[in-house]
Structure 1
């Protein structure tokens, strides 16, 4: 019988993480490095990628990390990155579609809040969809397509608990605002993108099932990042475990989903939300 640690071992495999400069992106890179993978650390600019590399190197000095600037909204940029890596002899075995825009919910009293559905700006819709959903499709086309031609690979889409449930807009209400149309809300784009990623996961899992490519998603719950205490208190009341996630609590799940430990799992969405979606 194979020992459990061996099934998690990613030594000899290369992973690519998009949006690696973000809060969870950096954690995904660290998790994959810890499992032995070489990681292509990508973001829209090299500065963001280099910052993640520096942070990961502090805890794992021997980590094999490659920086890449990829605009996931651009088919040409994604294709060029694929060609560049291939020209350097780097084949991507694991793709983590993490790039996203997570709009911050704020409000200015006295005006129709632009996060509300009735006033939501079309350019913002297009920009956020382009990064969070179209970007995952383009990266899957290029890097997942190459995996399918080689007959082996893993794609992990980073969804959200709000890809499973609707936002509870009461979380974002401001007590000093009396008019509903001025209250901030979680924008429509976030839910649409995260639901879409789960749909993309199921589509690709069946599309490439006979070509050795497994595709799964993970839906994290809210991660504590020094948010407003009143917001944190309201949110934790909705979570059976009574707290938000720590920033490193998804690392082991990422290792599981990207390794042979999950070799008979595809087309699934692993929900890790402290139980919020159960209530």
Structure 2
């Protein structure tokens, strides 16, 4: 039986991150070839090696990419001529990101929207340009969030220093509509874009938060990266051939 992504080449932007690294490993396991792209190749290589990825694999290529820089984006897409799909798992933000609502300045808010939403626009547009140039099937997966779907449950942050940043809600909801806009504009069944909206992903958050979050789910609590990846693989594969402009929520009922 063929693996899910046999002979497909997938570009992962943000491959040195938590989700991106997991995707690289899983796509290789599913028979795919991966172009792993990030701002720092050395850091990305170490991260992937720590996940058990064979960094010497002939199916793995490393690429330098700053998603906030148009020239860097154009350069990467001009080098490769056989990309079948892409995932944008990047998360660019400034140093004041995560400040509580009343402390967020307009300049900081605008900068974070420019970094994250702006780069999502740039990456999405570049994928569309690539499709128009090569005219071969292409599937892009953008990463949104449950907080792009529902309002924050601020009570789960009580007794912690954490909050749900206002920029995050604005960006992640906009990414879903950017996805719909672009596939509607291109209007070709060979070019697909979909979103995956994960619930919270475990990354050693405080116990108080983890316990409060778990009570809002059906029992799973925070998700491991591996529990989100399956939906991304589905959207990259031929099994979702006519799924386009959609948002798959993976949150064990948190958003209900």
TM-score, with structure 1 as normaliser:
0.82
2:138 pairs, out of 153, 176, 181, with 153
C-alpha distance after superposition, 1:131-159 (max 9, x if no partner): 32211211122233212331410010011
Q: How far apart are 1:102 and its partner, in Å?
A: 7.4
- Counterpart CA distance in 2 for 1:132 and 1:61 is 31
1:98 pairs, out of 89, 92, 107, with 89
Q: 1:78 to 1:101 in 2, by over 3 A?
A: closer
Please state if 1:216 is matched with 2:194.
yes
- Counterpart CA distance in 1 for 2:221 and 2:28 is 28
Q: How far apart are 1:244 and its partner, in Å?
A: 1.6
Q: Which residue of 2 aligns with 1:173?
A: 158
- Counterpart CA distance in 1 for 2:93 and 2:147 is 12
- Counterpart CA distance in 1 for 2:51 and 2:186 is 32
- Counterpart CA distance in 1 for 2:46 and 2:202 is 21
Q: How far apart are 1:191 and its partner, in Å?
A: 0.8
Q: 1:249 to 1:167 in 2, by over 3 A?
A: same
Q: Which residue of 2 aligns with 1:234?
A: 212
Please state if 1:75 is matched with 2:70.
yes
- Counterpart CA distance in 1 for 2:64 and 2:102 is 35
Q: Which residue of 2 aligns with 1:195?
A: 173
C-alpha distance after superposition, 1:132-190 (max 9, x if no partner): 22112111222332123314100100111111111112222337xxxxxxx75311111
Question: RMSD of the TM alignment (CA)?
Answer: 2.6
Please state if 1:143 is matched with 2:121.
no
Q: 1:101 to 1:172 in 2, by over 3 A?
A: farther
Q: How far apart are 1:103 and its partner, in Å?
A: 8.8
Match runs of 1:1-40 below 5 Å: 6=2, 9-40=4-35
- Counterpart CA distance in 2 for 1:50 and 1:124 is 31
CA contact (8 A) 2:194 2:235 kept: yes
CA contact (8 A) 1:151 1:211 kept: no
> Any idea what SS the aligned residue of 1:42 has?
strand
Q: How far apart are 1:273 and its partner, in Å?
A: 0.4
Q: 1:104 to 1:28 in 2, by over 3 A?
A: farther
TM-score, with structure 2 as normaliser:
0.89
Q: 1:60 to 1:50 in 2, by over 3 A?
A: closer
Q: Which runs of 5 or more structure 2 residues have no equivalent in the other structure? A: none
1:41 pairs, out of 36, 40, 60, with 36
Q: How far apart are 1:193 and its partner, in Å?
A: 1.0
Larger Rg computed on CA atoms? 1
Q: Which residue of 2 aligns with 1:118?
A: 102
Q: How far apart are 1:61 and its partner, in Å?
A: 6.5
Q: Which runs of 5 or more structure 1 residues have no equivalent in the other structure? A: 107-113, 176-182
